[in-house]
């Protein structure tokens, strides 16, 4: 941020702090109170300030707009003078040790520093992007990858993670859906809790525990027009039903920090939104942790048109409930003076400082500030099992949309033309939010496939074009490769910088040079597998859609090539499901399966009915629905049974269906349970996911899969904005996706 000055010393510091507890004693409740009593206003503001690490890898520096945080020695001096409570996105254990030494031994009060970072989906070992991992519909997998990430990250001293991102995202134009769990509230809530548990581990004061930060509070994904940073004009009902539950779930799992969102909600920027940060977060949810600004979100209150100037921005953000300021240095510069001028109550500042110090104590930093930084941990490197876990996670993230004529799995002996801008090389494998992983560690698609083929020379590779540009002669080369092959594997989609922060898109299809490539290769007429790399739902042009097999491969991380080979050659069946609906056209955005039914729903799937909720060009349906994904088996659903069709008010209801694998290969099926409330005091979604179960079926095998529903599954935010259930009739589906399945009905009886 151009206007942010390095934090300067603005007031003389007291030279000594006699009789203060040090070390573990300082982290006790009494010790924390003694510290607060001894702190100058500048030292208090320092504890409420975090700056970008002066020593950080280049990718970390590039992840945010520039903020002037000074040189390493200037930052050391700021720590020595008690003007800085933490730094983020550094990865040098040596420098972290040096900084911690200065904080603990050379500053007046000896308060340890907090080292934070964006460890979104892996630290050195990069796992699939969170959206991809959501496709596995496997909270335990998400917990395990988060745990592995924390084990690696804490070994360089990091104790606080700016993750998980738990923003529900329902608009494919918005680029940051790649960091979250997709469009569904239930899946998002389960994954939010699992990731918090993974990052934080068994106890926060363990050497490998990282404090989690569910972010961004709130409704960041509801940005108008899918434009990153735009306002979210959502109703309180939608906040409570859709955007809040993943946060509540994350806090329920023990997360003790959160980050304000850049956007405004119904006109009030989150960074100055005391209803959100105080009334709801602390008042209703009893949140005891602390709130950090999202980068210069406090300073941005000026651009929002809320604050007059920087001082006013600091005042408004603090009054809004933001405890700690990141990157802008506004609290360090203005909070002391705001207190002296009577515009901010010092008791409120003390409360924020107390929250931060309590968390530092909970992380074990007072007890042993170097716990995470023990040289033995750094030197050990990361476990080889993390690479195996990355392969498992990548494999489980793959979603097979279509497999005409059983083209997949491929024979290992097939002569393959591997075509597309992402066919070879190490770029575009990890995804947009990787600050600490080395892209060269990732296995390319080419290397993964060659290693699994009977004759590695039977693979020909042609890029055809770059992600967003033509290559001279590229299409000709690709066409010749296709002509000479038995089968074409096209790897197309988004480059890794086409999704992520500030990467909103107007067109969610393939960039034009790739469309031309796909068309030219299709004209050759060879059976084609299209692998789609993306950080969002995309729309497919007719030539891409006409491929015999379609596999969504997102950004898979270090084991991209190996995982793709595992599935393409049939060592493992694909098992992922879409965590976001793929719309037919970008103009349907925001498009999600649990939209409202409207007063004039189309009566049939015939297009062209007048005076119905449809577009002139298409019904408002998906191209590929939420929850969809094939395996190599052939699965059928039958015989839904909702028991007597009645649920007592305090009772439960078992709903079951028979799932059969009619195919010749084993099937791994994700069986989903959906409901629809037929008449309620507020309109209800077409369907809502209420559960899912994974079953493995041998060829020819059948299994009865049952779910238990209770009244809690039928609640919604009623007319008075509280959660209620209402007696009445419900439709229920057991289904392989949000637009299919076997259907029944039941009634919730009056109390």
Q: Which residues bind ligand NOJ (CB under 6 A)?
A: 63-64, 118, 162, 215, 294-295, 501
How many Cα atoms are found within 13 Å in the side-chain-facing hemisphere of 251? 20
For residue 119 the two structure tokens come to 């460890």
d(CA 195, CA 258): 14
Q: Which residue, 160 or 422, has its beta carbon nearer to ligand NOJ?
A: 160
Before 431, cis peptide (omega within 30)?
no
Q: Sign of the CA dihedral 576, 577, 583, 586?
A: negative
CB of 162 to ligand NOJ, least distance (A): 4
Q: Which residue, 219 or 461, has its beta carbon nearer to ligand NOJ?
A: 219
**CB proximity list for 303: less than 8 A, separation 6 or greater:** none
**CB proximity list for 12: less than 8 A, separation 6 or greater:** none
**Residues noted as catalytic:** 294
Q: Which residue, 138 or 228, has its beta carbon nearer to ligand NOJ?
A: 228
- Per the CB < 8 A criterion, the answer to whether 256 and 285 are in contact is no
d(CA 162, CA 268): 23
| DSSP H or E stretch at residue 265 | strand 264-265
Q: Which residue, 56 or 416, has its beta carbon nearer to ligand NOJ?
A: 56
Phi, psi dihedral angles at 420 (to 5 degrees): 130, 160
Local structure of residue 127 (DSSP, 8 states): P
Q: Which residue, 69 or 539, has its beta carbon nearer to ligand NOJ?
A: 69
Q: Which residue, 63 or 338, has its beta carbon nearer to ligand NOJ?
A: 63
| Closest CA relative to residue 225, chosen from 582, 587, 540 | 587
Tell me the three state secondary structure of residue 730: strand
Q: Which residue, 162 or 331, has its beta carbon nearer to ligand NOJ?
A: 162
d(CA 708, CA 694): 15
- Per the CB < 8 A criterion, the answer to whether 628 and 574 are in contact is no
Q: Which residue, 228 or 594, has its beta carbon nearer to ligand NOJ?
A: 228
d(CA 322, CA 320): 6
Using CB atoms, what's the residue nearest to ligand NOJ? 162
- Per the CB < 8 A criterion, the answer to whether 498 and 510 are in contact is no
Q: Which residue, 50 or 667, has its beta carbon nearer to ligand NOJ?
A: 50
What is the length of the chain?
751
d(CA 511, CA 662): 39
Tell me the three state secondary structure of residue 506: coil
Q: Which residue, 501 or 743, has its beta carbon nearer to ligand NOJ?
A: 501
Q: Which residue, 118 or 205, has its beta carbon nearer to ligand NOJ?
A: 118
| Closest CA relative to residue 180, chosen from 188, 172, 152 | 188
Helices (H), 160-216: 185-200
Q: Which residue, 498 or 532, has its beta carbon nearer to ligand NOJ?
A: 498
| Cross-strand pairs, 138 | none
- Per the CB < 8 A criterion, the answer to whether 167 and 216 are in contact is yes
CB of 123 to ligand NOJ, least distance (A): 14
CB of 231 to ligand NOJ, least distance (A): 16
**Using alpha carbons only, how large is the chain's radius of gyration in Å?**
27
**CB proximity list for 537: less than 8 A, separation 6 or greater:** 172, 177, 508, 578, 580, 581, 582, 583
How many Cα atoms are found within 13 Å in the side-chain-facing hemisphere of 282? 18
Q: Which residue, 215 or 522, has its beta carbon nearer to ligand NOJ?
A: 215
**CB proximity list for 162: less than 8 A, separation 6 or greater:** 88, 116, 117, 118, 119, 120, 213, 215, 259
**CB proximity list for 238: less than 8 A, separation 6 or greater:** 219, 222
d(CA 90, CA 86): 11
- Per the CB < 8 A criterion, the answer to whether 303 and 328 are in contact is no
| Closest CA relative to residue 569, chosen from 454, 457, 679 | 454
Tell me the three state secondary structure of residue 635: strand
d(CA 448, CA 531): 14
- Per the CB < 8 A criterion, the answer to whether 633 and 573 are in contact is yes
């Amino acid at each position: 941020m151009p206007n942010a000055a390095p934090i300067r010393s603005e007031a003389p510091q007291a030279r000594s702090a006699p009789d203060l507890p040090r070390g573990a004693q300082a982290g006790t409740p009494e010790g924390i109170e003694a510290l607060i009593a001894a702190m100058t206003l500048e030292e208090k503001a320092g504890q409420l300030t975090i700056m970008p690490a002066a020593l950080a890898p280049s990718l970390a520096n590039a992840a945010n707009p520039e903020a002037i945080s000074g040189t390493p020695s200037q930052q050391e001096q700021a720590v020595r003078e008690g003007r800085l409570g933490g730094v983020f996105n550094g990865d040098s254990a040596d420098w972290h040790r040096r900084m911690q030494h200065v904080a603990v031994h050379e500053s007046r009060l000896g308060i340890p520093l907090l080292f934070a970072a964006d460890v979104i989906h892996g630290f050195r070992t990069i796992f699939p992007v969170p959206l991809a991992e959501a496709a596995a519909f496997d909270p335990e997998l998400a917990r395990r990858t988060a745990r592995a990430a924390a084990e690696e990250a804490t070994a360089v001293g990091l104790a606080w993670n700016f993750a998980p991102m738990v923003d529900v995202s329902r608009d494919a134009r918005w680029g940051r859906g790649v960091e979250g769990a997709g469009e569904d509230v239930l899946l998002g809530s389960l994954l939010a809790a699992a990731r918090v548990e993974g990052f934080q581990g068994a106890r926060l004061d363990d050497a490998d525990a990282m404090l989690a930060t569910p972010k961004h509070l709130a409704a960041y994904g509801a940005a108008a027009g899918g434009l990153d940073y735009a306002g979210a004009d959502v109703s309180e009902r939608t906040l409570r039903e859709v955007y809040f539950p993943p946060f509540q779930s994350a806090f329920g799992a023990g997360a003790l920090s959160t980050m304000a969102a850049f956007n405004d909600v119904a006109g009030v920027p989150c960074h100055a939104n005391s209803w959100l940060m105080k009334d709801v977060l602390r008042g209703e949810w009893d949140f005891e942790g602390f709130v950090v600004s999202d980068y210069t979100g406090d300073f941005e209150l000026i651009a929002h048109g809320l604050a007059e100037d920087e001082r006013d921005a600091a005042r408004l953000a603090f009054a809004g409930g933001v405890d700690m300021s990141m990157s802008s240095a506004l609290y360090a510069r203005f909070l002391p003076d705001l207190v002296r001028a009577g515009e901010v109550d010092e008791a409120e500042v003390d409360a924020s400082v107390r929250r931060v110090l309590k968390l530092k104590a909970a992380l074990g930093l007072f007890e042993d500030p170097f716990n995470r930084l023990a040289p033995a941990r750094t030197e050990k490197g990361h476990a080889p099992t993390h690479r195996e876990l990355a392969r498992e996670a990548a494999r489980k993230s793959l979603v097979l949309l279509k497999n005409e004529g059983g083209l997949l799995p491929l024979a290992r002996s097939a002569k393959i033309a591997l075509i597309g801008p992402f066919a070879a090389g190490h770029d575009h494998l990890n995804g947009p939010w990787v600050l600490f992983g080395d892209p060269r560690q990732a296995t390319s698609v080419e290397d993964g496939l060659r290693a699994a083929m009977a004759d590695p020379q039977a693979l020909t590779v042609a890029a055809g074009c770059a992600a967003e540009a033509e290559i001279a002669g590229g299409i000709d080369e690709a066409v010749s490769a296709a002509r000479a092959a038995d089968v074409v594997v096209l790897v197309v989609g988004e480059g890794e910088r086409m999704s992520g922060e500030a990467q909103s898109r107007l067109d969610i299809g393939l960039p034009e040079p790739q469309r031309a490539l796909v068309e030219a290769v299709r004209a050759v007429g060879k059976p084609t597998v299209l692998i789609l790399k993306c950080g969002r739902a995309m729309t497919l042009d007719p030539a891409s859609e006409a491929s015999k097999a379609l596999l969504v491969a997102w950004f898979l991380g270090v084991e991209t090539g190996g995982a793709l080979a595992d599935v393409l050659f049939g060592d493992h069946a694909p098992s992922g499901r879409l965590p976001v609906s793929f719309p037919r056209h970008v103009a349907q955005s925001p498009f999600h399966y649990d939209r409202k039914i409207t007063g004039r729903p189309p009566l049939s799937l015939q297009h062209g009915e007048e005076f119905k909720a449809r577009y002139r060009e298409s019904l408002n349906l998906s191209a590929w629905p939420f929850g969809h994904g094939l395996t190599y088996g052939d699965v059928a659903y039958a015989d839904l049974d909702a028991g007597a069709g009645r649920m007592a008010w305090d009772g439960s209801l078992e709903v079951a269906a028979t799932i059969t694998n009619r195919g010749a290969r084993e099937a791994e099926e994700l069986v989903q349970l959906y409901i629809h409330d037929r008449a309620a005091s507020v309109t209800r979604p077409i369907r809502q996911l209420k559960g899912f179960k994974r079953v493995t079926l041998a060829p020819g095998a059948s299994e009865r899969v049952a779910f238990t529903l209770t009244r809690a599954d039928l609640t919604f935010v009623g007319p008075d904005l509280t959660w209620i259930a209402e007696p009445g009739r419900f439709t229920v589906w057991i289904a392989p996706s949000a637009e299919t399945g076997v259907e029944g009905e039941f009634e919730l009886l009056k109390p």
